[in-house]
Amino acid sequence: MTRRRAARSVGARFDADAFESDVGRLRADSRARRVAEEARAAFTGEGVERTELVRCAAEGRDGTRLAGCLKAYLPLGESERPFRMVLIAGGGEAGLELVYLAFGVGDQPRASHAPSAYAIAHRRLHGRWPSL
């Protein structure tokens, strides 16, 4: 059972500073915070099932460039999943791993200037916000 799960999932690591930067600012009782923390607990303990992973766009329509990154739609197991967790694939001594890169909504309302999960991930990858 353990061997089968390992083949179907990829281990994940979460940097406390990055996670806190994205999630710590949310209200303690907010749905977004609960979703992010539940995902971190699940992914840290069991890894991320490959069936939950979607490749990010190398050239996104929102101006983001996220080659080498993957995302999970959250919350897991629900039909409505507005949140995204972006992870960057890396190789280490433990083998293939996913490293937490960003959390947020996938598609911000048009009038919003708050960054999406993709924009935060782009900023962390390229050092600046995406531009269209």
Partner 1 sequence: MCGLVLRVNTDVTLHHVRMVTLDDPDFAGTYTVEPHSDGTLILEPVDDDVGPFAATLLRRAGARPLTPKEFAERFGDLPTDDEG
Least distance in Å: CB of 3 to partner 1? 18
Closest by Cα among 6, 116, 117 to 69 = 117
Q: Which letter does DSSP use for residue 104 in this model?
A: E
Burial of 33 (0-12, 13-18, 19+ CB in 10 A): middle
- Taking the least distance from each CB to partner 1, the nearer of 80 and 93 is 93
How far, CA to CA in Å, does 94 sit from each of 12, 20, 69, 90, 91?
11, 25, 19, 10, 8
Q: Phi/psi zone of residue 10: left (φ > 0), alpha (ψ -120 to 50 degrees), beta?
A: beta
- Taking the least distance from each CB to partner 1, the nearer of 35 and 42 is 35
Least distance in Å: CB of 44 to partner 1? 12
Judged by the rule CB under 8 A, the positions of this chain that interact with partner 1 are: 13, 15, 17-18, 20-22, 25-27, 30-33, 50, 53-57, 60-62, 64, 66-68, 70, 84, 88-94, 96-97, 99-101, 105-116, 118-121, 123-125, 127-129
- Taking the least distance from each CB to partner 1, the nearer of 5 and 50 is 50
Least distance in Å: CB of 14 to partner 1? 9
Least distance in Å: CB of 45 to partner 1? 16
**Tokens for 77?**
């197991």
